[in-house]
Structure 1
Amino acid sequence: MVIHINYSRKFFHQLLMLYRPFEKRLNTELAKHELHRAQWTIIYYLENINPATLVELSNYQGVEKPTITRTVSQLEERGIVEKVPGKDKREKRMQLTEAGKQFYQEVRKTVDAYEEEILMGISEEELKTAIRMMDDIRKSIIQSGDGEVGTNKN
């Protein structure tokens, strides 16, 4: 199926125009908890998906491992995350501490209120469609090799 180029351009333009104001306002909301988006994304992942290695977190966020290491260290210093043993002695996995789980719930209320506010008037069906579509586009980017982080293709 070929998508008319004008709709494709408009779609991606709108995506870019949405991202920056969303992230700016999200960071304003997260600042109430002395957080920024990259930290929140790690906390979210650890609470909702799995304890993870730094490599898994860097792949999830699409950033290099040193960036994740710094961000995780900040969360560790605050007592939000902790290292736990992995499958073998060399593997270290990160997970939320008990205080981190409580902190997640506090921040979740702030983020939920923000998300509810900006999605007012959009139906659940429209959201499901948008979620599916964004996931399909993300998978297409990754399959084309453009979405991989920290890999050397040469």
Structure 2
Amino acid sequence: MMLYRPFENQLNVELNKHKLHRAQWTILYYLYNFGSATLVEIANYQGVEKPTITRTFSRLEELGYVEQLAGKDKREKRMQLTILGRTVYEQVRVTIDQFEEECLKGISEEEQQKIIQIMEKVRSNLMK
């Protein structure tokens, strides 16, 4: 798609300012907004395979941004943000908000809502 690549490239430039890439940001976003999760839940959310999430999660763990929770079931490992991870998320969120504002400059609130509705329909059609 003609929009996806430039958006993805610029998003990575913005995330690079915080030494992160999109896959890492998506995990931080998920855990911050939805709370603790299993790797399978995060993989399903991102639409990728679990091994991909496992590698990304390991890197975030090395950075001290995420940690494993002691679960009731030893087979199910739940992940959560650390205090540092929450702080980093909030810092990166400011950068992302500014980036999104730049992307939407000159597009009215009404037009933005229409775009969201259209994209939801496209997504729904793709998921059939």
Aligned to 2:73: 88
CA distance in 2, matches of 1:83, 1:138: 32
- Note if 1:76 corresponds to 2:76: no
Q: Is the 8 A contact 1:39 1:71 kept in 2?
A: yes
Q: Within 2, Cα distance between the matches of 1:87 and 1:136?
A: 39
1:59 aligns with 2:70: no
| CA RMSD in angstroms, aligned pairs only | 1.3
Give the AA of the match of 2:22: R
Per the alignment, residue 18 of structure 1 pairs with 3
Q: Find the partner of 1:125 among 95, 110, 128.
A: 110
Query: Per-residue CA shift, 1:48-85, capped at 9, x if unaligned?
Result: 12321111111111111101100010001000011113
What percentage of residue pairs aligned between the two structures are identical? 63
Correspondence for 2:16: 31
Distance in 2 separating the partners of 1:94 and 1:128: 33
Aligned-partner residue type, residue 91 of structure 2: E
Equivalent-residue separation in structure 1 for 2:82 and 2:118 (angstroms): 34
Instruction: Tell me how far apart the structure 2 counterparts of residues 136 and 53 of structure 1 sit (CA, whole Å).
Output: 29
Partner Cα distance (1:86, 1:133) in 2: 40
The unaligned stretches of length 5 or more in structure 2 are none
Aligned 8 A contact 1:81 1:100 in 2: yes
Displacement, 1:87? 4.7
Q: Deviations over 1:90-144 (max 9, x none)?
A: 21111111110000011011111111111111122222222233223223322x2
TM-score by length of 1: 0.78
Higher-Rg member (1/2): 1
Q: Is the 8 A contact 1:54 1:65 kept in 2?
A: yes
Tell me, yes or no, if the aligned pair for 1:85 and 1:91 is still in contact at 8 Å.
no
3-state DSSP of counterpart to 1:79: coil
SS at match of 2:105: coil
The 2-side partners of 1:116 and 1:22 are apart by: 13
* 1:9-35 per-position Cα deviation (integer Å, ceiling 9, x unaligned): xxxxxxx11000000000001001100
Partner of 2:87: 102
